[in-house]
């Protein structure tokens, strides 16, 4: 592990981009997707997280998302989220790119955030396409309805759906211009998000990975830090921050 070198790179960087995954929220009590206790170990994505599943049984899909919203509502940001919010204050050019659908980065104080996979707290109308923020837990009625009468869906990206274009464009721009690209708490198996560190490296960034274990991208990272986000990310803040 080379925390001191990673800290120096970040301190000297003009532009930093960060990609986070479910691992950063694990210490807040939220389950990850893969690995022990992961959501995809206990639930079948094709029954809950595809447009076909929603068309087939919107009630079942909504019950699952309503349950996830209730679990998320009880969680608090952890030291890893807070450290990234601190980075944003200090680095000239900064973007936090998250695959997470929770709002823990924002609740920790991050403002320069793009959500590649949407948000559990935003709903989108299947009929008029209107979007709304909604923090009601539990939702009533279920499935929820838009003012136009149409059924609302969670504004998250399901398997087989494209990523929100504006979010992906911002993420790519950040990858092109980053001096340091930090990847924290993701298995790096879901594309196109997992391509971002590779894009950044091709454009000259140094890549730092923070994860409990070896992942698909560990071999290409310039520094890999093994351990918990909540313990390692605060240590990456340069001392004079
Ligand atoms: P995964 O569940 O695939 O991976 C979580 C990663 O976090 C693993 O590599 C763990 O080793 C690591 N990890 C767990 N706890 C950690 C901790 N405290 N500190 C550091 N690392 C830790 O989750 P994602 O990579 O986010 O997509 O999954 C990517 C996408 O797959 C999700 O956004 C979701 C899912 O299907 C959609 O919903 C579209």
Residue 162: is it exposed, middle or buried by C-beta count within 10 angstroms (0-12/13-18/19+)?
Answer: exposed
Name the residue of 72, 190, 227, 236 whose CB sits within 8 Å of the most ligand 1 atoms, as the mutation to test its pocket.
190
Q: How confident is the model at residue 200 (pLDDT cuts 50, 70, 90)?
A: very high
Task: Give the pair of three-digit tokens for residue 241.
Answer: 């921050």
Average pLDDT taken over every residue of the chain: 96
Residue 238 has pLDDT above 90, yes or no: no
DSSP 205: -
Q: Does domain 3-28+77-117+162-236 have CATH number 3.40.50.1220?
A: yes
| CA atoms of 187 and 194, how far apart (whole Å) | 9
The sheet with strand 118-125 has its strands ordered as 131-133, 118-125, 152-156
Q: Terminal CA-to-CA distance of the chain, rounded, Å?
A: 22
Reported as a single tens digit per residue, the pLDDT across 159-176 is 999 999 999 999 999 999
- In angstroms, the CA 44 to CA 38 distance is 11
Residue pair 227/213 in contact (Cβ under 8 Å)? The answer is no
pLDDT at residue 35 in the model? 84
Structure tokens at 112: 């320069």
Q: What is the pLDDT of residue 50?
A: 96
Q: Is 215 in the pocket of ligand 1 (CB under 6 A)?
A: yes
Q: What is the pLDDT of residues 202-221, one digit of tens each?
A: 999 999 999 999 999 999 99
144 CA to centre of ligand 1 in angstroms: 28
Give residue 69's pLDDT: 97
Q: pLDDT digit string (tens) for 111-148?
A: 999 999 999 999 999 999 999 999 999 999 999 999 99
Handedness of CA 2, 8, 234, 72 (dihedral sign): negative
Could you tell me what percent of the chain has a pLDDT over 90? Answer: 93
Which residues, at least 6 apart from 129, have a Cβ–Cβ distance to it below 8 Å?
none
For ligand 1, atom 13, the nearest C-alpha belongs to 23
CA distance 8 to 206: 12
Given a contact cutoff of 8 angstroms between Cβ atoms, the answer to whether 45 and 159 are in contact is yes
What pLDDT digit, counting tens, does each position of 66-97 carry? 999 999 999 999 999 999 999 999 999 999 99
Q: Please tell me the predicted confidence (pLDDT) of residue 1.
A: 60
Query: Do residues 50 and 57 lie in contact, with contact meaning Cβ atoms separated by under 8 Å?
Result: no
How many other β-carbons are positioned within 10 Å of the β-carbon of residue 129? 10
pLDDT digits (tens, 9 = 90+) for 62-74: 999 999 999 999 9
Q: How confident is the model at residue 240 (pLDDT cuts 50, 70, 90)?
A: low
Distance CA 120, CA 154 (A): 6
Query: Is-catalytic flag, 117?
Result: yes
155: which 2 tokens?
A: 């504004």
- pLDDT 10s digits, 32-56: 999 888 998 888 888 999 999 999 9
Q: Which of 72, 115, 117, 203 is catalytic?
A: 117
Residue 241 has pLDDT above 60, yes or no: no
% the chain with pLDDT above 70: 99
Tell me the CATH class for 39-74+125-156.
alpha beta
Give me the residue spans of the domains in the chain. 3-28+77-117+162-236, 39-74+125-156
């Amino acid at each position: 592990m080379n925390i001191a070198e990673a800290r120096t790179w970040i301190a000297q960087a003009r532009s930093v981009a960060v990609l986070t995954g479910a691992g950063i929220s694990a210490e807040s009590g939220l389950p990850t997707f893969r690995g022990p206790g992961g959501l995809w170990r206990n639930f079948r994505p094709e029954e809950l997280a595809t447009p076909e599943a929603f068309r087939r049984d919107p009630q079942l899909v909504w019950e699952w998302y309503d349950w996830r919203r209730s679990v998320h509502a009880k969680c608090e940001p952890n030291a890893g989220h807070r450290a990234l919010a601190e980075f944003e204050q200090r680095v000239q050019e900064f973007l936090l790119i998250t695959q997470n659908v929770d709002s823990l980065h924002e609740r920790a104080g991050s403002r320069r955030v793009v959500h590649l996979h949407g948000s559990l707290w935003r709903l989108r109308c299947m009929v008029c396409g209107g979007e709304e923020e909604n923090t009601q837990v539990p939702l009533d009625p279920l499935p929820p309805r838009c003012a136009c009468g149409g059924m609302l869906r969670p504004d998250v990206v399901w398997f087989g759906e494209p990523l929100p274009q504006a979010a992906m464009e911002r993420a790519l721009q950040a990858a092109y211009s980053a001096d340091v690209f930090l990847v924290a708490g993701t298995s790096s198996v879901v594309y196109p998000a997992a391509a971002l560190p590779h894009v950044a490296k091709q454009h000259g960034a140094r890549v730092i990975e923070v994860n409990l274990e070896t992942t698909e991208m560990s071999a290409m990272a310039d520094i890999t830090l093994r351990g918990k986000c909540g313990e390692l990310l605060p240590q990456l803040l340069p001392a004079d921050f």
